[in-house]
Amino acid sequence: MSGLDVDMGTEVGRGEEERVEWCCWARPTDGMWKINVDAGVKEGMGVGLGTVCRDGDGRVAWAVSVQSSGICCVKSAEAEAILLGLKEAKRVGMQSIIIESDCLNVVADLKGRKKGRGDIFLIYDEIFSLVPFFVSVIFNYTRRVCNKLAHLVAHATPWSIGRRFWMDSLPQPFVNAADQDLINIC
């Protein structure tokens, strides 16, 4: 699912049946790279950011995990994950990218170029400052169940403060998740 069209599903517990939802990793448009991002706050440990870049066939080009002991709100962490994905894409020379996050509020703020005061807006300003370095940048929302690999990268184990970058070989749990996504590629 791309854009801001969101299917919230069926509420369970009010006499309604649970609806099973299907989701797959969706291919980027030809000539574009897709960068899925996620963030997680681990109680008592810190914040993890994860980015995974894939080509149109779903092959992982690179993945980055940054884990820190700092305390951060989830929304700011999600914005930081987007910033991390943009910085890495710029560093490796990518031109046309789709940044996909499961944080609807942040994606909506970025699409609307929301302005304001506070720490999150400093992160947004930094994100917007990187956009001109690309031919095309698209911010998309995806459901959490479609963003599993980025989630795994954000929560990479063992928890290790610092930055980890994978290009040629991913840890086996990441390979398994990436392969699972490709079974139902759209």
List, for residues 17-39, the tens digit of each pLDDT value.
444 345 677 889 889 999 999 99
pLDDT in the model for residue 22: 52
Strands (E), 13-59: 33-42, 46-54
Fold classified for 33-174: Nucleotidyltransferase; domain 5 (3.30.420)
| Amino acid at site 43 | E
- This model's pTM is above 0.95: no
pLDDT in the model for residue 8: 28
pLDDT in the model for residue 146: 85
The tokens for 113 are 């170029």
Q: Where are the domains of the chain?
A: 33-174
CA distance 49 to 23: 23
CA distance 52 to 153: 8
pLDDT in the model for residue 11: 30
pLDDT in the model for residue 33: 97
Strands 60-68 and 46-54: antiparallel
**Contact present, 153 and 63 (Cβ < 8 Å):** yes
Residue ranges, the chain, pLDDT below 70: 1-23, 184, 186
CA distance 12 to 32: 38
pLDDT in the model for residue 23: 63
Taking CA atoms, 92 is separated from 7, 137, 148, in Å, by 34, 15, 24
